[in-house]
Chain A
Amino acid sequence: MERRKFIQSMLTASAVAATVTPVALMAKEEAKKAAPKGPNALSIDAAIDAITGGKGAKDSDKVQLTVPEIAENGAVVPVKVHVDHPMEENNSVKAIHVLAAKNSNSRCADVMLTPANAKAYFATRIKLSSTQEVVGLAELSDGTFIKAGKSVKVTIGGCG
């Protein structure tokens, strides 16, 4: 009898250990990742507030964001932003902003456009630290802000 009890207790103990340790490790790793670092660390909410002056931005179909669904290499993720809006003297897209929600610095690029551009279009390549949402934000000449977001799955992060 004693031997049986001993073995049973051993089994349960090992099972508990097996379930506890990975969870604890994961939590530690997440805490490491979540800690903001770097000289320009800025969260996405703070970045949007800074851009819009606290007004916030509306989701809109006018902003067409082209990003890959799955990015194998997080160091090079192509992003295209196209805003379906005329570019006339008094009715234009003033600026396009590209933001990445979970990077330590979520601001990627601010592009100030003029009517000479003829089309509100901007393309670049950005780094993504992990699977996250990429946001394209456009400022119109009447002072309103519109945005669109798309999630990108990242296999290997590229933010050091």
Chain B
Amino acid sequence: MAEARKSMIKIKPKKFKVGDTVKVDFIVIHPMDTGLKKDKKTGKIIPAKYIDNITFLFDGKPFTTMKVWETVSTNPYFSVNYKVTGKGKITVDYTDNTGEKNSKSKKLKPKG
């Protein structure tokens, strides 16, 4: 864990019940360098640095795994659906190609 990245998990809609299908949005501040661009000041190529593996977990159980490449935009955004089964914690683990590991969690509180 080199540095803590800013990231965010959003559940849409805000109010939901057990059995509802919600959208889980995950946004992270990350450069996603392709390894093709040149630094305008120094003229050197910026080395590739992109997120390559993402796992969405609910209470430690993975429900969606992703493999992504540098073709995903800077500050990437990923959205998947999830059927709420009860109270718990949604965690997103992600690693990038330089071996940087991070994780972000959010509590899931269904009402009713």
Contacts and interface: CB of A to CB of B under 8 A. Distances in A.
Nearest to A119: B81
15 contacts: A38-B70, A75-B73, A76-B73, A104-B36, A105-B70, A109-B67, A110-B68, A112-B66, A117-B81, A118-B21, A122-B79, A125-B72, A126-B71, A127-B34, A159-B34
Contacts of A111: 64-66, 80
A37 interface: yes
A12 interface: no
Contacts of B81: 117-121
Interface of B: 21, 23, 34-38, 48, 58, 62-74, 76-83, 85
Contacts of B70: 38, 40, 105
Contact of A107 (B63, B71, B85): B71
Contacts of A38: 34-36, 48, 70
A39 B65 CA distance: 23
Contact of A117 (B37, B67, B78, B83): B83
Contacts, number: 103
Contacts of B73: 75-77, 124-127, 158
A116 B71 contact: no
A123 B85 CA distance: 22
Interface of A: 37-40, 75-77, 100, 103-114, 116-127, 158-160
Nearest to B26: A124
A160 B64 CA distance: 30
A75 B74 contact: yes
Contact of B63 (A39, A104, A114, A159): A114
B64 A105 contact: no
A115 B8 CA distance: 24
Given A100-B71, A103-B71, A116-B82, A109 B58 contact: no
A149 to B, nearest CB: 16
A37 B72 contact: no
Contacts of B38: 160
A105 B71 contact: yes
Contact of A105 (B21, B63, B69, B80): B69
A108 B79 contact: no
A123 B77 contact: yes
Contacts of B48: 38-39
Contact of A110 (B23, B66, B79, B83): B66
A124 B64 contact: no
